[in-house]
Structure formats: structure tokens, C-alpha cells
């Protein structure tokens, strides 16, 4: 409750920071804020053209023309959300060192700003994808609301891992490079580019240890209107998020003074 009250007190800072982040991203651009829609629209158009029309990509059990394109776009949009939020979170302390040393405010406000900024990008990209689904008569039904808890779970996972790395990176700068390697490993062990059905049966339990496996595959199933994956695919997501959050809090409490000194 104390943390929530502190965040409410600093709501002007949080909203202002999110607005500044959005404006700075497109400052000096001729097209301006229209790039918010043009970039995901171009990305989706490329995937649909190359994988749907030219390469004739098809999902097993889904004979529709754009089934694989929707599968790919959905997976990449949610992956980009997770990866961007994780990368921004891991640099929170280093990039805001001067602010942390000079001002007294809740440290969680920095995470809220990152979460809000990256979420805006995801929602705008999903809006473009929805327009494509509407245009191709592939719009899913009410089950699309299931994307909301997926978005929140992925945010918790990214923020938990990101805060762990952010604290460790203050003392050991090598964690930045290791994070990039870890993200590449997670990407290719997550069913984004390839469908689950083409994998050998013995490999599936190992891939389900990937904490991104459950959220991404569930989002793709909701978008395509196919059966949802088994609940146990979310087990690694929950375990990793809880352990990472607990580890980050313990690290911060034990090394708070040393953290400020190293910054």
C-alpha cells in the first residue's frame, strides 16, 4: 500500500516521463507520430507478402491463406514487447544514475514508465494487426480479451528479470552482453517463426521450460481461434517470474547502499 501511495504521489512525473519518451522517439521526424502506425503496418505487410503470398507459408491444420502470417505477426509483436521491456529494465539504474542519486522518489516509478511506454507500442501495433484481420475477415471473437492477462504476465516476467539484471549490471557490466545472448536463445526456443506441430514429440517438454513458450503460444491460439495450449505450459512462466521478483527484491534490500555507491 505504501508503494502504491508513493506512485500516486508521483503520478505527474510518471505521466510526464511517458509523454516525453513518446515525443522524443519521433522528434525531428518529418512523418512524426504517424510512424507509430506506419512502422508496424509496414512490418505486417512484409510478413504477409513474403510468408503468405510469395513463400506460401501455411500452418498445419490451418488451410487459410493468411494463417501463418497471423501466427508469425502475433508471436513477433508479443516477443518485441517482452524483449524491449526487458532491455529497457536492465538499464534502469545505469541510465538514471544521476536521478537516483539526487532525487528521492519510488524506484518502481522508473519501471512503471518503461512498462507504459512499451505497452503503448504494443497496443498500437496490435491495432494495426486487428485492422488487417478485419480486412481479411479473420477477426477473432470475444476470446481476444484473453490477450490482456497475457500482456500483464509477460510484463511481470520482463520486469522481474530486468530488475534482477539491472541490479547485477551495476556491479558486473557483462550482464548486458549476456542478456542479448539469452534473448536470442529464448527467441529461437519459442514457437514464433515455426509452428509447434512440426516439432518432434520428445522436444516439446524441453521447449516448455522456456518461460516465453506459454504466453506466446496462447496469444497465437487466441488470435487464430485454435485450441489453447495445456495449462502446464505456463508453469515455467510463473516459476521464473516469482523467483526473479523475489531475487530482485532481496538483492536490492541487501545491497541498496552499495548500489548507490557504485552508481
Q: pLDDT tens for residues 126-158?
A: 988 888 888 888 788 788 899 999 999 999 999
- How high is the mean pLDDT of the chain? 82
Q: pLDDT tens for residues 158-185?
A: 999 988 888 888 887 777 778 888 999 9
CA–CA dist 83, 108 (Å, integer) = 19
Bridge partners, residue 62, by sequence: 59
- Quick one: pLDDT at residue 56? 61
Going by C-alpha positions, the residue among 120, 116, 125 that lies closest to residue 40 is: 125
Residue of higher predicted confidence among 52 and 14:
14
* Banded pLDDT at 254 (limits 50, 70, 90): confident
Q: pLDDT tens for residues 202-215?
A: 888 888 889 999 99
Q: Indicate the DSSP class of residue 26.
A: T
- Quick one: pLDDT at residue 26? 64
- Quick one: pLDDT at residue 115? 92
pLDDT surpasses 70 at 244: yes
DSSP alpha helix (H) spans, 91-107: 92-95, 97-102
Of the listed ranges 10-19, 21-30, 235-244, the one predicted with least confidence: 21-30
**What's the angle, vertex CA 47, arms to CA 44 and CA 49, rounded to 5?**
105
What's the mean pLDDT in 67-86? 91
Q: Report the share of the chain in percent with pLDDT over 90.
A: 22
CA–CA dist 75, 210 (Å, integer) = 14
pLDDT surpasses 80 at 257: no
pLDDT surpasses 80 at 48: no
Going by C-alpha positions, the residue among 257, 207, 200, 256 that lies closest to residue 232 is: 207
Amino acid at each position: 500500500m505504501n508503494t502504491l501511495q508513493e506512485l500516486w504521489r508521483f503520478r505527474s512525473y510518471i505521466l510526464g516521463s511517458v509523454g516525453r519518451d513518446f515525443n522524443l522517439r519521433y522528434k525531428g521526424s518529418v512523418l512524426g507520430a504517424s510512424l507509430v502506425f506506419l512502422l508496424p503496418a509496414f512490418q505486417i505487410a512484409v510478413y504477409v507478402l513474403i510468408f503468405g503470398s510469395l513463400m506460401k507459408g501455411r500452418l498445419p491444420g490451418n488451410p487459410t491463406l493468411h494463417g501463418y502470417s497471423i501466427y508469425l505477426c502475433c508471436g513477433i509483436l508479443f516477443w518485441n514487447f517482452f524483449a524491449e521491456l526487458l532491455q529497457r529494465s536492465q538499464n534502469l539504474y545505469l541510465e538514471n544514475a544521476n536521478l537516483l542519486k539526487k532525487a528521492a522518489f519510488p524506484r518502481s516509478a522508473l519501471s512503471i514508465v518503461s512498462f507504459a511506454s512499451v505497452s503503448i507500442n504494443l497496443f498500437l501495433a496490435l491495432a494495426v494487426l486487428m485492422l488487417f484481420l478485419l480486412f481479411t475477415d479473420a477477426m477473432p471473437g470475444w476470446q481476444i480479451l484473453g490477450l490482456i492477462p497475457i500482456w500483464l504476465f509477460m510484463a511481470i516476467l520482463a520486469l522481474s528479470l530486468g530488475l534482477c539484471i539491472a541490479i547485477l549490471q551495476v556491479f558486473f557490466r557483462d550482464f548486458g552482453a549476456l542478456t542479448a545472448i539469452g534473448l536470442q536463445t529464448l527467441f529461437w526456443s519459442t514457437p514464433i517463426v515455426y509452428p509447434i506441430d512440426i516439432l518432434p514429440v520428445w522436444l516439446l517438454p524441453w521447449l516448455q521450460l522456456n518461460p516465453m513458450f506459454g504466453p506466446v503460444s496462447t496469444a497465437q491460439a487466441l488470435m487464430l481461434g485454435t485450441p489453447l495450449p495445456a495449462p502446464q505450459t505456463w508453469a515455467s512462466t510463473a516459476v521464473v517470474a516469482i523467483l526473479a521478483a523475489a531475487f530482485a527484491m532481496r538483492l536490492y534490500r541487501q545491497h541498496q547502499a552499495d548500489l548507490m555507491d557504485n552508481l
